[in-house]
Structure 1
Amino acid sequence: MIVMHKKIAMMGGKNSILPFKGLGIDIFPVSDLDEAAQQLEEMAEAYGVIFLTERLIEQLEPIVRRYEEVPTPAIIPIPSSTGSLGIGMARIQQNVEKAVGMNILDS
């Protein structure tokens, strides 16, 4: 059996991601969209899981969508230091609805 170990990374604004460095997650602070797009493409080759702030997921939607159809990297939204945009929960609801045929998470 072949076991592949891929690392975990996080990209976003410095204030949002810096605390995760202490958990052993590789962090990539970005300050502009072009830099973020290029960095995401590079990270996709080396990382199995990439956490992105919700704002970046929103702004890099075309790139993020390309990776939804492949096993890795798994791109996971996280709220930024300014709060949640609801993107993470919306993605979970979409995946649950796709899997079971209806949204069972709405109250």
Structure 2
Amino acid sequence: MYKVAVVGDYDSIYGFAALGLETFPVSDVNETEKVFLELASGSYAVIYITEAAAAGIETAIDRYREQPLPSVILIPGISGNTGKGVESVKHSVEQAVGSDILFGDA
């Protein structure tokens, strides 16, 4: 059975535990990359990662962009939204649909 993980700073992710998701608090780039790679190579189908945590490990995340699993979804943290999560989803939709769903092919 596949699982769902949430990675990021403790303050941003602790509430997800109440929803039954497994949380993995991280505090630096090295720890984030190590945890992410362990989760990605394990039985996790979805990995939510805060935009701030993902900022330091783009190369590791990119390795899984074209893979069917896990699905890596960037979420805002307590420090706010950087727009990277929306940009990532937009790019995925453009690949699947073949055009920009918000503005069409201009």
Q: What TM-score results when the alignment is normalised by the length of structure 1?
A: 0.89
The one-letter code of the counterpart of 2:26 is V
User: 1:64 and 2:28 equivalent?
Assistant: no
Q: Read off the aligned partner of 2:24 and give its amino acid letter.
A: F
Aligned residues: 103
Task: Tell me the distance in 2 between the aligned counterparts of 1:35 and 1:67.
Answer: 18
Structure 1 gap ranges (5+): none
Aligned residues: percent identity? 39
Match of 1:23 among 19, 22, 34: 19
Q: Is contact 2:51–2:85 with CA below 8 Å preserved after alignment? A: yes
Q: Which residue of 1 aligns with 2:102?
A: 105
Structure 2 contact 9–53 (Cα < 8 Å) conserved: no
Moved more, 29-38 or 94-103: 94-103
RMSD between aligned residues: 1.4
Which residue of structure 1 lines up, in the alignment, with residue 74 of structure 2? 77
Q: TM-score, structure 2 length as denominator?
A: 0.90
Out of 67, 83, 88, the residue aligned to residue 86 of structure 1 is 83
Distance in 2 of aligned mates of 1:70 and 1:100: 17
Which stretches of structure 1, 4 residues or more, deviate above 6 A after TM superposition?
none
